Amino acid sequence: MSLPTPRSSLKAVLIASTLLAGGAVGTALPVAPAHAEVPMQGYADLVARVSPAVVFIEVSAKSQEPAPRAASPLEEFLRRFGEIDPQFRMPAPPERDRVMHGLGSGFLISQDGVIVTNNHVVENATDMTVKLEDGREFKAEMVGADPMTDIAVIRLRDASDLPFVEFGDSDRLRVGDAVVAVGNPFGLGGTVTSGIVSAMGRNINSGPYDDYIQTDAAINRGNSGGPLFDTSGTVVGMNTAIFSPTGGSVGIGFSIPANTVRDVVAQLQETGSVSRGWLGVTIQPLTPEIAQAMGLEGSRGALVAEVQPDSPAEAGGVESGDVITAVNGQEIGERSSLPRLIAAIPNGEEARLTVQRDGREREMTVTIGELSADRLEPAAAAAPEGLGAPLGLEVQPLEPALARQLGLPEDASGVVVTAVDPAGPNADRLAPGDVIEEAGGRAIATPRDLASAVAEARGRGVLLLKVLRQGNPVYVGAEVAAS
């Protein structure tokens, strides 16, 4: 389960998601490395070249039934950050025959009218009108969409000889490089802002494949799907999200790297859907405390909490308690790196995993499967809803292999604390590596057992825990938050 973000005046506003992709036809802007220098004459020449390929999208959607639906990853991202400004709330299920309208941005990647934008801009659209900078309007149709990365590809009808842009190499971006964002904020029309790359590889918990570019270029509502350019005029990202206490830009914006999106768009253009690799493991962070308890140096890698039955990981010999440190020679820095690396491997291909087990490094080969919706359910079920907020903890089951690594009997039971919210109610009471054996006098074997004990203790405000800490039993009076 994930730690809750501390509640504060901070509001998260999701405005666009992942990025462009290849497949451009004809002559386009040359690919060149990003440069940090701001030209003396400003960006007027660059904007004049690229802005004709940036489009504004008006969407109408009509629903016949107020059908309930599960929260999307984007809505979950908004929910985690607490109270959201009403103007940025995701719409409730529409009333019968209600027509909804929306605005967003996008950009042309081919002469014949192929456009990349966000899935949430065009999702469930019954009518899409695209406006170009020169005033021309076209109707558009869906080519394909990938909700997991919030990428969509649409095509203009009866279009030819249109301006378009190409992608640069987002892996060559450096913190401090100058970037320019173009889009349609608040429906005002073509708007240009500039800034620098503030950080790379940001994970904002909006989905399993987060790897955002952070920029201070002003991004606002309506910039969804708009491009982020380097100073050579190539697209290096697609403007996606902001953190803001007011709902407007405060200089913390996020764009998905062009390299991440290129493959997704290529698949959407070819088949209308996206195929991703599947390993079949539930992973958790390798905290410094757990790494020390396991006799490992550093805390890089993904700790395997569970191996799913009949999965490629099980067939390849991966065990609970293994720490996966590399895939095909590419090192895993954080836990979130593993899903991205596995997803990029085609179904049926072999992958070489580097694994730490019992203090020794070993190599193993697994044949990657194909990820499907039903294969995502076991990971979701591992995090009981509502547990993180009351205790401010992230926990995982104590599997036999993990118990052995922690120096506990293999038949030990309980849940392992893998992270503690520093702003939560138990930051000074519990620590990563603690094993919760009992809660409120009842034995704890799974996170769901703990969630039940927490629910019963809400009225009392405190819950007595029996904890194994470095192999020694201690009792802790844990505070249970009211909400």
Which amino acid is it at 84? I
3-state secondary structure of 123: coil
- DSSP string of 337-398, one letter each residue: HHHHHHHTSPTT-EEEEEEEETTEEEEEEEE-EE--GGGGHHHHHTS-TTSHHHH-EEEEE-
Place of tokens 């493959």: 263
Those residues with Cβ within 8 angstroms of residue 16's Cβ, 6 or more apart along the chain or in another chain = 104, 105, 117, 118, 120, 121, 150, 219, 223, 224, 225, 226, 238, 239, 240, 241, 255
Contact predicate 338/325, CB 8 Å: no
Contact predicate 6/424, CB 8 Å: yes
Those residues with Cβ within 8 angstroms of residue 56's Cβ, 6 or more apart along the chain or in another chain = 103, 104, 105, 106, 130, 131, 184, 189, 190
- DSSP string of 263-329, one letter each residue: HHHHHHHHHSS---EE--EEEEE--HHHHHHTT-SS--SEEEEEE-TTSHHHHHT--TT-EEEEETT
Tokens of 285: 């962070």
Annotation marks residue 101 as catalytic: no
Which amino acid is it at 225? G
| HSE toward the beta carbon, residue 180, CA cutoff 13 A | 27
Whole-angstrom Cα distance, residue 16 to residue 120?
8
3-state secondary structure of 258: helix
Find the catalytic residue in 51, 206, 224, 320. 224
What backbone phi and psi angles, to 5 degrees, belong to 322? -70, 150
Whole-angstrom Cα distance, residue 320 to residue 383?
17
Q: Which residues line the annotated binding site?
A: 120, 150, 222-224
3-state secondary structure of 448: helix
Tokens of 27: 């002559």
3-state secondary structure of 427: coil
Contact predicate 345/351, CB 8 Å: yes
Contact predicate 5/225, CB 8 Å: no
Whole-angstrom Cα distance, residue 203 to residue 448?
27
Find the catalytic residue in 51, 105, 146, 150. 150
Q: Which residues line the annotated binding site for substrate?
A: 120, 150, 222-224
Positions marked active-site: 120, 150, 224
